[in-house]
Amino acid sequence: MSTIYNSYSPTLSHGILKMVTVIALALGFLGVDLDVQLAFLLPPVPSDEFIYIEMPKGVECGSRFYRLRHPLYGLSSAPVRFYEFMAALLMQYGHMFFPLDNQSSSTSRAQGLRDALESTFRKEKYITSQISSRWIRVLSELERLEPYATKISQVYSLCKDHGVPEEEWEQMLEFFHRLRVILYLTNNETLSERVITDPKWLISNLAKVIRDPALHANNEEEKAKDHFPKF
């Protein structure tokens, strides 16, 4: 479909931005913020698209009309051209790119993304690593504990009960953290005193606390906030 007369704005909604921030914070991901200067001037105009501009009065440059080779700011197709340009550039350097239509109600709109994530994770070395059965027993105990933010001393006690050598305690927790079956955030003194045994619980409750009421109707804010004194 031609984009010459179609408006396009590849921008992030406020709600999605907040959700991505919550997930990144909860899982300890590194976030990078960047700004591309003169972004809409970078991509080329497709060869099958003909756009001409008329020179303003007073400009003498040999011709009255010129064909555009790159978009201009204000051109309705400029955003989509930059969107396509960046997608191709990212994939050229080995990144994956999965645009999602947030207006679609289809439950399978993100299936391609899910399949790619699963395929990528299966190739990670830690997925096929052999670990002690003692570690598995500790993990099974952790998954049954409440509250979900378990004190590190309680975790160490479980390790002792199941015969995990003390020199393996930190290694075990870091391994399960990489698998994201628990969260063990050691870069903060306060957070390192707790182990989150259900990452989805933390993400869900953080989202409820910082959600935008105008965008996401939910009457469970107080229930969510009640969990946080446990930290």
Q: Determine how many CB atoms are found less than 10 A away from the CB of residue 41.
A: 13
Domain ranges across the chain: 35-99+109-122, 127-230
Provide CATH code, domain 127-230.
Answer: 1.10.10
Q: How far is the C-alpha of 80 from the C-alpha of 163, rounded, in Å? A: 58
> pLDDT 10s digit of each residue in the chain, 231 long?
455 566 666 666 676 677 777 777 766 677 777 788 888 888 988 888 888 888 888 888 888 898 989 888 888 888 888 888 888 888 898 887 776 666 677 777 778 777 877 887 787 777 788 889 999 999 999 988 876 789 999 999 999 999 999 999 999 999 998 888 898 988 778 888 999 998 888 777 777 776 666 655 555 544 544 544 444
Secondary structure of residue 52 in the 3-state scheme? strand
Q: How far is the C-alpha of 190 from the C-alpha of 77, rounded, in Å? A: 49
CA-CA-CA-CA dihedral for 150, 152, 157, 158, to nearest 10 = 50
